[in-house]
Amino acid sequence: MKKEFQIVVLAKQVPDTKNVGKDAMNADGTINRAALPAIFNPDDMKALEMALECRDRIKTENNIDVKVTVITMGPPRANEIIREALYRGADNGFVVSDKRFAASDTLATSYALSMAIKKLGHYDIVFTGRQAIDGDTAQVGPQTAEKLEVPQITYADELIAVTPETIRLKRVLQHGIEIVETKLPALVTVHGNAKECRSRHAHLVIKRKNTEIPMWTADDINPDFERLGGKGSPTKVKNIENVVLTKKESITINSDDEGIRGLIEDLTASHIF
C-alpha cells in the first residue's frame, strides 16, 4: 500500500469574460484586461472540489496521507486563486510564473505545466477544469496528459469511486453519459455540470491568510527553453478583429396586415417558404 497519495489541481486565473463591460475592449480591438475582474476559472473550481472529495474518500477508506496541491501558471498575482484554494481546503499550492512563459499557446502551456508536475516528484491524479472561459479551447488538459504519458478522462462530472490504485468517474457525452475506470496515475478534466466547490472555511481563512505561496520560475522546472513561451508555440495570431457589424442592405417591411401579407406572398412565390 502506498503511504502517500498526491492529487494535483491545475487552475487558471481568468478575466471574467461573462461580465464584459463597455470598457473591456480598447479602441484598437485588443482586450483591456485591466477593466475585467480576475476570477478563479469556474471549471477549475469544480476540479478543486472533485480533488478534495477524492482526498476525503481516500483518507476515510485507507489509512494513508493524501495531499491536494494546486498549481497555476500566470502572473504573480495569480497567487490570489491559490490562496482561495487554500481557504477551501487545498493543502499546498504554488504559482509558476516567468516572463519567458509569455505568448505561450496551449502546447507550450501544457509543456510547462507538465514539467511543474514532474518537479513535484510523485503524483497520482491530476484534475483540471474542462476549459477556461478566456480561451474556451479545452486543450490544455488532454495535452498535459499526453506530456505526462498518462490516460486522460475528459468531461467528468461525478466521482463514482476512488482507491489508491484506480478511479471511476461518470463523464458527459454529447448525447448521454459514460462511466469509465482507469488505473492511476491519470488526468481528469472536470465538466461544468459537476458539483459546486465547497465554500471557504472560516478557520482556514484565519490559518492560511499569511501562508507564503511559493513562486517557481522557468529555471525551477528544468525545461527545454526552446519549448517555452512564444518559441515553443506553433500557433501564431495572424489577425484579431473586433466584432463589428457590417451593415447589410435590408428591406423594411411594414408590420401591418398589408406588409406581412406581401412578405409571405413574395417568399412563397420565390419558393423560400
Partner 1 sequence: MNNIIVYCEVKDDGKIADVSLELCSKARHLADRLNVNVDVAVIGNNLKGLEDELFTHGVNTVFCLEDKRLSFYQTLPHFSVMTKLIEREKPYSVLFGATPVGRDLGPRVASYLRCGLTADCTALDIDENGNLMQIRPAFGGNIIATIICPDVRPQMATVREGVMKQEVFEKQKNTAVVKLNASEFLNEADFVVKIIERKLEEKKIDIKGAPIIVSGGYGMGCKENFKLLHELADLLGGEVGATRAAVDAGFAEPERQVGQTGVTVRPKVYIACGISGAVQHRSGMEQSALIISINTDPHAPINSIADYVITGDAADVVSKMIKYCKSNSKK
Residues in region 140-159 near partner 1 by CB under 8 A:
140-147, 151-155
Eight-state DSSP code of residue 102: T
Task: Pick between residue 63 and residue 255 the one whose CB is nearest to partner 1.
Answer: 255
Q: How far is the CB of 104 from partner 1 (least distance, A)?
A: 12
Check residue 25 for interaction with partner 1 (CB under 8 A): yes
Instruction: Calculate the CA 126 to chain-centre distance.
Output: 12
Residues 220-239 interacting with partner 1 (rule: CB under 8 A)? 233-239
Q: How far is the CB of 192 from partner 1 (least distance, A)?
A: 10
Query: Which of 157, 154, 166 is closest to 50 using CA atoms?
Result: 157
Phi, psi (5° rounding) for residue 31? -90, 135
Q: Tell me how far CA of residue 34 lies from CA of 77, 96, 272, in angstroms.
A: 13, 21, 48
Is residue 32 close enough to count as binding partner 1 by CB under 8 A? no
Minimum distance from residue 105 beta carbon to partner 1 (Å): 7
Restricting to residues 114-133, which ones interact with partner 1 according to CB under 8 A? 133
CB closer to partner 1 out of 1 and 237: 237
User: In this chain, which of 60, 199, 210, 252 binds partner 1, going by CB under 8 A?
Assistant: 252
Nearer to partner 1, 31 or 204 (CB): 31
Residues 88-117 close enough to bind partner 1 by CB under 8 A: 105-107, 110
Residue 144 φ/ψ region, left for φ over 0, alpha for ψ in the -120 to 50 degree band, beta for the rest: alpha
Cell numbers for 126: 491530476
In sequence order, the 6+-apart residues with CB closer than 8 A to the CB of 68 are 7, 8, 9, 48, 51, 52, 55, 89, 90, 91, 92
Within positions 152 to 211, which residues make up the interface with partner 1, using CB under 8 A?
A: 152-155, 168, 172-183
